Amino acid sequence: MIQIGDMVTLIGPRGKFVVKVSSEMQNIKNLGVVDTGKITEKDYGESINIIDQDYIILKPSLSDKLDALQRKAQIILPKDALQLVGMCNIQSGSLVIEGGAGSGALTVALAHFVAPNGRVVTYETREDFAAVTRKNLAMAGAEKFVELKIADVTKGFDEYDADAVILDIPNPWNVVTHAWKALAPGGFFAVYVPTMNQVEKIVSELRDNRFIEPKSMETLQREIVVGNGGVRPSFDMLGHTGYITVARKIL
Amino acid sequence: MIQIGDMVTLIGPRGKFVVKVSSEMQNIKNLGVVDTGKITEKDYGESINIIDQDYIILKPSLSDKLDALQRKAQIILPKDALQLVGMCNIQSGSLVIEGGAGSGALTVALAHFVAPNGRVVTYETREDFAAVTRKNLAMAGAEKFVELKIADVTKGFDEYDADAVILDIPNPWNVVTHAWKALAPGGFFAVYVPTMNQVEKIVSELRDNRFIEPKSMETLQREIVVGNGGVRPSFDMLGHTGYITVARKIL
Amino acid sequence: MIQIGDMVTLIGPRGKFVVKVSSEMQNIKNLGVVDTGKITEKDYGESINIIDQDYIILKPSLSDKLDALQRKAQIILPKDALQLVGMCNIQSGSLVIEGGAGSGALTVALAHFVAPNGRVVTYETREDFAAVTRKNLAMAGAEKFVELKIADVTKGFDEYDADAVILDIPNPWNVVTHAWKALAPGGFFAVYVPTMNQVEKIVSELRDNRFIEPKSMETLQREIVVGNGGVRPSFDMLGHTGYITVARKIL
Amino acid sequence: MIQIGDMVTLIGPRGKFVVKVSSEMQNIKNLGVVDTGKITEKDYGESINIIDQDYIILKPSLSDKLDALQRKAQIILPKDALQLVGMCNIQSGSLVIEGGAGSGALTVALAHFVAPNGRVVTYETREDFAAVTRKNLAMAGAEKFVELKIADVTKGFDEYDADAVILDIPNPWNVVTHAWKALAPGGFFAVYVPTMNQVEKIVSELRDNRFIEPKSMETLQREIVVGNGGVRPSFDMLGHTGYITVARKIL
């Protein structure tokens, strides 16, 4: 059932890899030169021998894809991407505008949830970021749900009746009126920013415009480690990523 | 465009209400006796006068629905529900089995993301919880994506090839082999439990069975308050809800 | 060994009480009318019967005293008071100036650590707060280590060669130059403020003056609950108290 | 006023150093070969030129000493050491028994607070750890307040009427009855352990013995960064260190 051209996740001694099944030999970084064509003889959940080591074959999940992203800009972590998706009411069929594609991490997550009937339009001013986003969308099989525009969101949007506008840019307050125009009534405007000063400024701007219920939050996540000695939180933890602020357009 | 029978969110001085637009007078708790039929003369994003106060009319979002749930059992918070959705790779079209419907909070969130092509099958042993879940699914407009079964998940599941099995029950380790049978290869098994002892026990059980990459975590969330005096985290914060553990079925 | 006039902690079914042992009957709030004189017949660590219930008698600890404080203003919690004590290098013999006595919580903690050879000078502008602080210092047996002044710290300090100046006031940046004069070289200047804006302003002011190594932090604390069902963090948690900033005077 | 033999803190471009002022040239790691004798010509708070760079001279604070510790075992961080000090009611004059000196980090902190009239007795089974602790106590000027014993706390203590017993060992439950004997009535028993399982076991053991009010907690700390772009929490944060449990002896 696995066919040439499919993306698969391989999990084994050397880590996790998201690769395209190909009829030709591939040189996969950290894994070696691999004949992925043999994977077509297997089923998902089975393992395959690659260079004398066993690798489990799985269908790439959203987490696998986000782990496998090529990174140029700092990427939004799943914990924050999922909060944005949920707080902005995104689901299959949604039209979402993203400002600042960066490396495309959030774009991949949004595409996952709007599929198969929705669409993500993502704006990016930098060509080098856009190039990375394109590669990541291809790896994630998300191109068909995403339109990537090289344009500056502070100049406005081409779309109307959007369900959500999500910005990961340093100056989102300059986009509030553009976002208002692009959104359907009740549509969600969300920003992701690293400093408290930015939270203050965007909330103030939202209060001055026709947006309701601005709500800001931070989300912290700790892994729990189950070892021989017992259970404890992981010593590794990211102390901060960014604050999320969400509000809804009213007329 | 708003029609009799639609659910709408009303936001105003007395709070937020999710109500059904009706041609008859309704007595809405904390709001009063209201003629919601007048709402059909308005558009989303506009406001309507109810008992001498203005209320904004919006389409109910996932957050609105979760806020408006009738609660019998302790409910899963959005921060955790969204992590479960993301870590289990849920999206439109997924078949998700839930064990322990409780008040239906997670059920509503799952339905939101599997719609319109997917399905949630939720198991609940207690009739009183099931009754609350049914009411909440109706309020959320989620019935058509959900099948509610009065049955005990420790006895096994009727479904096959599920994309995810998610359990919010005290003894999920008794369901690991049943979940394995119900899942498609690569399918996700997730549990939500309050104590570290339960995390230890389920991870140990998953390691002894054909599940890969068990990962446990806790998610903390703080609101950020923007006031006249400046920006600060909220004094109110929930210190703990539950730990999430996720793993994938292999053959 | 326990004598009339001693302060003791009583722990029993109705809670924890810090009371003075007296030869006369006392009406103790939430406990009832009690003959505390009988306590002199007991030793620390023993229990005494009070109105048909057993209470353990202990010497009041710093925690007991802080728990028993009468509160008028919002008080600094132990977690923050202890960080201030440690980051300001306070110990027996230190001369500490406090700005904003409030209810005297920090004053009691500081007195505990500077005793028996050091001294706390605390400034408070409001007579009503000063009155509460006096009562709390008496309860804690801390009066002999503390001098309470009704004065405004933004007008300057009377002391020189202080080891630390610690401020819990809304506008600590107005006190930076006064603090510099009052401190010994290498002395510590610390502030406790609730908002990020205040942190930004005080750090900026410290960088513009002769203070070195300004460091700001927040401290979060969660109780861990050991119950029959297992171990988990407490659901109750304070999401925020205040940020601590500390720097040292240089010449 | 600074004399040969004094310990001083030097803060400058290459970092922070705690060094002994000496009449002979010293080779100080990461700083170079330095004539520290010249420091006697300066006052605290002034700066001195060392190898063409200016360094501020300060009296070593508790934080400086803890930063400068030689580390062999994992050390207790200030945030936790300060909680232990406060929750155990330690102050000048206290007799504190420590089990598991490790590298002596907690020992240095305890000595700081019990000085000049109290005493710390620290037990360590490993000679290599004891050697590091001795060096660190010398650096911190804490030897005169500390007695270091090469002995196993699970075999019992030599001391009586201690104000506190603090254990940083893997199996503190084996020491509960010994600690009870060594403590004065009302004395504090505290443990510092990394896993939830250990918390559960020690609390259970304390409940079975004559200890009152066992309380467990975790303390998290984040630095706040004030930069040109605004204020935000630091990205670096330790996700976990250890849990503290404290209880008091009763008769």
Per residue of chain D (251 residues), give pLDDT as tens: 899 999 999 999 999 999 999 999 999 999 999 999 999 999 999 999 998 999 999 999 999 999 999 998 789 999 999 999 999 999 999 999 999 999 999 999 999 999 999 999 999 999 999 999 999 999 999 999 999 999 999 999 999 999 999 999 999 999 999 999 999 999 999 999 999 999 999 999 999 999 999 999 999 999 999 998 899 999 999 999 999 999 999 99
Residue A184: per-residue pLDDT: 97
Domains D7-60 and D65-249 share a fold: no
pTM greater than 0.90: yes
Taking residues C16-25, report their average pLDDT. Answer: 94
CB-CB neighbors (< 8 A) of B233 in chain C: 239-240
SS (H, E, C) chain C: CCCCCCEEEEEECCEEEEEECCCCCEEECCCEEECHHHHHHCCCCCEEEECCEEEEEECCCHHHHHHHCCCCCCCCCHHHHHHHHHHCCCCCCCEEEEECCCCCHHHHHHHHHHCCCCEEEEEECCHHHHHHHHHHHHHHCCHHHEEEEECCHHHCCCCCCEEEEEECCCCHHHHHHHHHHHEEEEEEEEEEECCHHHHHHHHHHHHCCCEEEEEEEEEEEEEEEEECCEEEECCEEECCCCEEEEEEECC
Nearest to C222 among B197, B230, B239 (CB): B239
Could you give the ipTM of this predicted complex? Answer: 0.96
Provide the pLDDT for residue A73: 78
Interface test with D, best of C119, C224, C225, C240 (most D CBs within 10 A): C224
Distance from CA of D46 to the nearest CA of C (A): 5
* pLDDT at residue C167, as a whole number: 98
Q: CB–CB of D234 and A222 under 8 A?
A: no
pLDDT for res A177: 97
The CATH architecture one would assign to domain A72-249 is: 3-Layer(aba) Sandwich (3.40)
Residue of B nearest to A203 (CA): B226
The count of CB pairs under 8 A between chains A and D is 63
* pLDDT tens profile A47-71: 999 989 999 999 999 999 999 999 9
pLDDT of residue C166: 98
Contact in structure between A223 and B203 (CB atoms under 8 Å): no
**A interface residues, D as partner, C-beta within 8 Å:** 170, 194-198, 222-223, 229-241
Mean pLDDT taken over chain A: 96
Binding partners of D (≥3 Cβ pairs within 8 A): A, B, C
Determine the distance in angstroms separating the CA of C193 from the nearest CA of chain B, rounded to an integer.
10
CATH number for the domain whose boundaries are B65-249: 3.40.50.150
Taking the C-alpha atoms of residue C142 and residue C6, their distance in angstroms, rounded to an integer, is: 13
Write the CATH number of the domain with boundaries A7-60. 3.10.330.20
Neighbours of chain B (3+ CB pairs under 8 A): A, C, D
The predicted structure's pLDDT at residue B72: 86
Q: State the count of interchain CB pairs (< 8 A) between A and B.
A: 175
Which pLDDT score is estimated for D229?
Answer: 86
| Chain D residues contacting B via beta carbons under 8 Å | 196-197, 200
Average pLDDT estimate for C123-135 = 96
Q: Contacts of residue D194 in chain A, CB cutoff 8 Å?
A: 229-230, 232
Q: List CB contacts (< 8 A) between D218 and chain C.
A: 221-222, 224, 233
Cα B222 to its chain centre, rounded Å, is 20
pLDDT at D73: 78
pLDDT of residue D63: 96
Q: What per-residue confidence (pLDDT) applies to C19?
A: 95
DSSP notation for B70-139? --SSPPPPHHHHHHHHHHTT--TT-EEEEE--TTSHHHHHHHHHHTTT-EEEEEES-HHHHHHHHHHHHH
Q: What is the mean pLDDT of chain B?
A: 96
pLDDT of C229 reads 86
> In terms of CA atoms, which chain B residue is nearest residue A230?
B200
Taking 90 as the threshold, does the pLDDT of residue C234 lie above it? yes
Q: Which residues of C touch B (CB under 8 A)?
A: 170, 194-198, 222-223, 229-241
Least CB–CB distance from A56: residue in B93, B224, B250 = B250
Q: Closest by alpha carbon to B211, among B244, B175, B184, B180?
A: B180
pLDDT the model gives residue B229: 86
Q: What is the pLDDT of residue C58?
A: 97
Cα distance from B179 to chain D (closest Cα, Å)? 28
Q: Which segment, A66-80, C81-95, D71-85, is predicted with the most confidence on average?
A: C81-95
Determine, for residues A197 and D236 on separate chains, whether the beta-carbon distance falls below 8 Å: no
Closest partner residue to A196 (CB to CB) among D231, D236, D239 is D231
Confidence of residue A1 (pLDDT cuts 50, 70, 90): confident
Mean per-residue pLDDT for A126-148? 96
Mean pLDDT of the region B207-215: 95
CA distance C224 to chain D (A): 5
- Residue A15 pLDDT class (50, 70, 90 cuts): very high
Pairs of CB atoms within 8 A across C/D? 179
Q: What is the pLDDT of residue C74?
A: 84
The arithmetic mean of pLDDT across residues A178-197, rounded, is 98
Domain C69-249, CATH class in plain words: alpha beta
DSSP-assigned letters across all residues of chain D: ---TT-EEEEEETTEEEEEE--SS-EEETTTEEE-GGGGGGS-TT-EEEETTEEEEEEPPPHHHHHHH---SSPPPPHHHHHHHHHHTT--TT-EEEEE--TTSHHHHHHHHHHTTT-EEEEEES-HHHHHHHHHHHHHHT-GGGEEEEE--GGG--S--SEEEEEE-SS-GGGGHHHHHHHEEEEEEEEEEESSHHHHHHHHHHHHHTTEEEEEEEEEEEEEEEEETTEEEE-SEEES---EEEEEEE--
Considering only residues B72 and A171, tell me which one the structure prediction assigns the higher pLDDT.
A171
Q: What are the residue ranges spanned by the domains of chain B?
A: 7-60, 65-249
Is the pLDDT confidence value at C91 over 90?
yes
Pairwise CB contact (< 8 Å): B200 & D200: no
> Taking CB atoms and an 8 Å limit, are A240 and D231 in contact across chains?
no
CA D44 – CA D56 distance, rounded (Å): 8
